[in-house]
Chains A and B, each alone.
Chain A
Amino acid sequence: MLLEIKDLTVDVSGRTVLKNINLAIDYGETHVLFGKNGSGKTSLLMAIMGFSGYKVKAGSIFFKGQDITYAPIHERAKLGIGMSFQRPPTIRGLKTRDLIRTFHGEDELVERIVDALNFSAFLDRDVNLGFSGGEIKKSELLQLTIQNPDLILLDEPESGVDLENIKIIGKGIKRLLQKNLHRQRVKSGLVITHTGLILNYLEADNGYLMLDGTIRCEGNPREMFETIQSTGYEECARCQR
């Protein structure tokens, strides 16, 4: 197993946001999180990444067999976890180019990804300063691709992106998750989506429905998304046997 979460309970500012979460992702698999706003999806990604505001009260997180429940963020990143943020902070005075340089990616790779994402004009801008929704997603994807993690956490990679750019970003994510490979695929993903649009670009293996900080249903992501579309989140949660 690449990622294994057992009975995880997490508090933010003294309020429980995740309750008894159990989830496992194997090498090469992509899993999807559904759920309405405030159901705990982003909190789950933040807790896996290890952000300080997300206090683990119970349970554990194992990655590549190691207990990372209380590991610092950068150690998780070094182990192979990477995240695309929905609303990353602006870092004034730090050029996107200079940030990327710290990842020590190969120049050729960097150039190729920058071209593929049509992002060269933004390299000399401050990190996320005045970026549109689409530009933020591209910047995140560019950083992630160079970082080259094994588990990719994507928080609504398509939100705020126009249709033309969704194609570019969708392809980028597909590449990142090695969807072109089959038997040899090792990269895994955990993806939050509201629109389901991103499902057109990545074959997802498993879906979860989150409600009030718990996982209420697990199943085929396409079927789940169709149910949510036709009957809503609450109905989907109720169908659980």
Chain B
Amino acid sequence: MEKAKAALDKKAPYGEDIDLSEYGKDVPDYGADPNLSQLSAEEKGHVLEVGIDVAKTDRTGSFFLKGHSPVHCTVAQDGVELMPITEALEKYDGLEKYWWKAVDVGADKYTAQAEMALHSGFFLRVKAGTKACFPVQACLYLNEEGISQNLHNLVIAEEGAEVHIITGCTTAPHLKKGLHIGVTEVYVEKGAVVTSTMLHNWGEEVIVRPRTSVWVEADGTYMSNYVCLKPALSVQMYPSVRLKGENAVARLNTILVASKGAVLDVGGKVSLEATGAKAEIISRTITTGGKIISRGMLIGQVPNIKAHLECSGLILSDEGRIHAIPELDGWVSGVEMSHEAAVGKISQEEIEYLMSRGLTEQEATALIVRGFLNVKMEGLPAELQKEIEKMISENEAAFL
């Protein structure tokens, strides 16, 4: 609490500084809506675009946060626990072993605000040896104009557990302005596998400040897919993964598109702290007029670790800008780390090659861009893959 208080005005090292007092509006309590029947058809379609299936077909668990109210939370498998974070804090005496351990509460004004004025979030624990049959979905829905959401999520995969979390963050169809602060702490215990797919679809003036940290113990695997293809005003996030146990693995994939006016400062950091650890960070970014800062950092602290970082950016408009900052930090000999970064336009040679097969310049460009964004994301449910492909096709006009 003291630490949070001290950090309330602390600027974040990256990203534009936001005046939090602008987003102080009161938000109604929506009560419970177990079947999500209060959502309009338009809203249901909208959340489906970020992977949230209201019908919950093929979902092990489902959590829905509307404004500040966790209106819906269900779980359909033994060994999987899902509840609003406030409930979990009460039930488990403050979750001391995990609460603010991976993420530093005093990191910046956003973590501080999440502590001082916590609204909600979800708690997910998968018990030892339990493999969730289907993904668990969490929808963080910003539905009131000009509000802030201060959230704190906690994910624990106990020894040998496996789970895929789909987090869909989106705003109500016509909402413009809002602030989303989301602290997420993920604990991947021995031999556990956590896949996190996060889809963002924000309003045009929404500020987004996720703060995610992940700890992975021996033989554990953490895979993250972050997809943001729709406009947002300002996103700044730099999730960090610590591979603490031997042979722990992390794989972070990011695909994002920045349209005019957007500033996306997004990256991933993996610290390899035990022998046999492996990491891969891949980001594919496109600007059609916005600014992208694509960060990536690998820290090799011990010998016999292997890690690779790939940042590729396509600039499709002269107004756009991509600043790729790949960093490698090796502390000892015996680390094997590499990176490749490329920023530029689509190669004319590739376009003309496809044109020689009879495609128009536009058709060729669309195919190349689609290929560029086609990052292999493991464990993605087919319908989610389709949604992502659909988003890419919808974007096509902006690519030409």
A residues neighboring B (CB under 8 Å)? 49, 51-52, 72-74, 76-78, 82-83, 85, 88-89, 91-94, 98-99, 102-103, 126-127, 143, 147
Q: Nearest 8 A-B pairs (CB), nearest first?
A: A93-B371, A94-B371, A93-B374, A77-B358, A73-B355, A74-B355, A89-B349, A89-B350
Most buried by B among A73, A76, A85, A88: A73
Q: List 6 A-B contacts (CB under 8 A).
A: A74-B360, A91-B354, A99-B354, A102-B363, A102-B367, A143-B357
* Contact of B353 with A by CB under 8 A: yes
Closest residue of chain A to B312 (Cβ to Cβ) is A92
B347 within 8 A of A: yes
- Provide the residues of chain B in CB contact with A85, threshold 8 Å: 353
Give min CB distance, B134 to chain A, whole Å: 27
| Contact call B371/A72, Cβ cutoff below 8 A | no
Q: Does B104 contact A (CB under 8 A)?
A: no
Bound-state CA distance A147–B359 (Å) is 11
Residue B46 interfacial (CB < 8 Å): no
Question: Given A93-B372, A103-B357, list of 16 further CB < 8 A pairs?
Answer: A73-B352, A74-B356, A74-B359, A74-B364, A77-B357, A82-B356, A82-B357, A89-B347, A91-B354, A92-B371, A93-B371, A94-B368, A94-B374, A99-B354, A102-B363, A147-B357
Contacts of A143 in B (CB 8 A): 357
A99 CB, nearest partner CB in chain B, Å: 7
- Kindly state the separation between the CA atoms of A83 and B352 in the bound complex, as whole angstroms: 12
Complex Cα–Cα for A93 and B355 (A): 18
Q: Identify the B interface with A (CB < 8 A).
A: 347-350, 352-361, 363-364, 367-368, 370-375
In the bound complex, residues from chain B placing their C-beta under 8 Å from that of A49 are 356
Main secondary structure of the interface of B (DSSP, over half): helix
B162 CB to closest chain A CB (Å) equals: 27
- B-side contacts of A74, CB under 8 Å: 355-356, 358-361, 364
What A residues does B349 contact at CB under 8 A? 89
In the complex, which residues of chain A have a beta carbon less than 8 angstroms from the beta carbon of B373? 93
Main secondary structure of the interface of A (DSSP, over half): mixed
Are B361 and A91 touching (Cβ within 8 A)?
A: no
The residue among B347, B355, B359, B367 with the most chain A CB atoms within 10 A of its own CB is: B355
A94 B370 Cβ-Cβ under 8 A: yes
Determine the chain A residues whose CB is within 8 A of the CB of B363 once the complex forms: 102
Q: Which residues of A contact B361 (CB under 8 A)?
A: 72, 74
Measured in the bound complex, the distance between the Cα atoms of B352 and A72 in whole Å is 10
A127-B357 Cα distance, complex, nearest whole Å: 13
What is the CA–CA distance of A99 and B348 in the complex, to the nearest angstrom?
A: 17
Q: Which residues of B contact A102 (CB under 8 A)?
A: 357, 359, 363, 367
Known: A52-B348, A89-B349. A103 touches B370 (CB 8 A): no
**B352 cross-chain contacts in A, Cβ below 8 A:** 51-52, 73
A85–B352 Cα distance when bound, in Å, is: 12
Contacts of B356 in A (CB 8 A): 49, 51, 73-74, 76-77, 82-83
Does A103 contact B358, Cβ atoms closer than 8 Å? Answer: yes
- Within 8 Å by CB of A88, from B353, B371, B374, lies B353
CA distance A147 to B353 in the complex (A): 13
Cross-chain contact A78 with B371 (CB below 8 angstroms)? no
CA distance A1 to B370 in the complex (A): 40
- By the criterion CB–CB under 8 Å, are B359 and A91 in contact? no
Which partner residue on chain A sits nearest B376 by CB separation?
A93
Please determine whether B358 and A126 come into contact, CB atoms closer than 8 angstroms.
Answer: no
Q: Is B368 a contact partner of A91 (Cβ separation < 8 A)?
A: yes
B372 — nearest CB in chain A belongs to which residue?
A93
Minimal beta-carbon separation of B110 from chain A (angstroms): 34
Q: How far is the CA of A77 from the CA of B363 in the complex (A)?
A: 14
Q: How far is B359's CA from A82's CA once the two chains are assembled, in angstroms?
A: 12
State the Cβ distance, A105 to closest chain B Cβ, in Å. 11
For the complex, give the distance between the alpha carbons of A72 and B363 in Å: 14
A132 to B347, CA, bound (A): 22
Residue among A78, A85, A91, A127 with max Cβ neighbours from chain B (10 Å): A91
